[in-house]
Amino acid sequence: MKMFSRSNEHTLIAAAVIGATVSVVGKELIAQLSRGRFGDTEEFNTARVTVSGPIQRESGSPSLSGVGGTTADDIVEQIEAADESEHVEALVVELNTPGGEVLPSDDIRQAVVDFDGPTVAFATDTCASGGYWIASGCDELWARDVSLVGSIGVVGSRPNASDLASKLGISYEQFTAGKYKDAGVPLREIEEDEREYLQSIIDGYYDQFVETVSKGRNMDPETIRETEARVYLGTDALEMGLVDELGTEEDVKSRIEGLIDTEPEIREFTPQRGLVERLGIGAERIAFAFGNGFASMFTNESSEIDVEVR
């Protein structure tokens, strides 16, 4: 097998980064000439934001298509930008997420609630947990017949390394003020009252989840609890009242047309980043991709990703 020398590797990475820099600079100049968003010369009256992957506060690992998961602050920024635009009459929130952190999910939901105009959520593959939390803030929720919808529940976990610590001869000693300050630490067995305390926090989140969905979807809280955090196919979710309609993206566009009384021209709203930040992200993605590429030449590892609905 023909190998790259280290100097050739560095030359290729440098060339790729320079190419990415030139591309970003060019797009930035065009964006400035087109009122701050690349391609804004086209007419539009409907905004679309996409929530894809795990919902979190901070961005994850870089990829060629973007950073990992959904960064809540970016989504909120996009929704607020759409709300401030004089062109936007309606908002489509496309959801393909297994859920994520509680507060970031609620931040996105609140931004949707505050949007001045019709809001339609569209579930593609998966709209679960935090994704459904967000959808409950929209006026309507659409899904495909085989979409996975629901998982109205909360999960909390802690590692238990007490047995391992004992085998390694590691003892635990900590100084705290307040009975439950170190509740749940992994190096010792959890006490029953600590377990009850931590479970009460999870129960509180769950009660809030049920209340949020009940108000947003106008559903009986007991009906929501009876789902027992299961996910449902779109057809079943429709029968249960978890979604309003089944359809494709074209069906959603037709629905938007009925809501705003004109043919929808949809624009994808994306995070607004400065030139320096975009250059940094671009270079990081290139370096990350090259690192993965060269490593795979020697490890021959698969790039398959396991996805869990939680």
Q: Catalytic amino acids? A: 129, 181
8 A C-beta contact, residue 116 and residue 83: yes
Please write down the HEC assignment for all residues of the chain: CCCCCHHHHHHHHHHHHHHHHHHHHHHHHHHHHCCCCCCCCCCCCEEEEEEECCEECCCCCECCCCECCEEHHHHHHHHHHHHHCCCCCEEEEEEEECCECHHHHHHHHHHHHHCCCCEEEEEEEEEECHHHHHHCCCCEEEECCCCEEECCCCCCCCCCCHHHHHHCCCCCCCCCCCCCCCCCCCCCCCCHHHHHHHHHHHHHHHHHHHHHHHHHHCCCHHHHHCCCCCEEEHHHHHHHCCCCEECCHHHHHHHHHHHHCCCCCEEECCCCCCHHHHHHHHHHHHHHHHHHHHHHHHHCCCCCCCCCCC
What residues contact 231, with CB distance under 8 A and at least 6 apart? 126, 128, 148, 149, 150, 151, 309
Taking alpha carbons only, the member of 247, 248, 228, 225 closest to residue 238 is 247
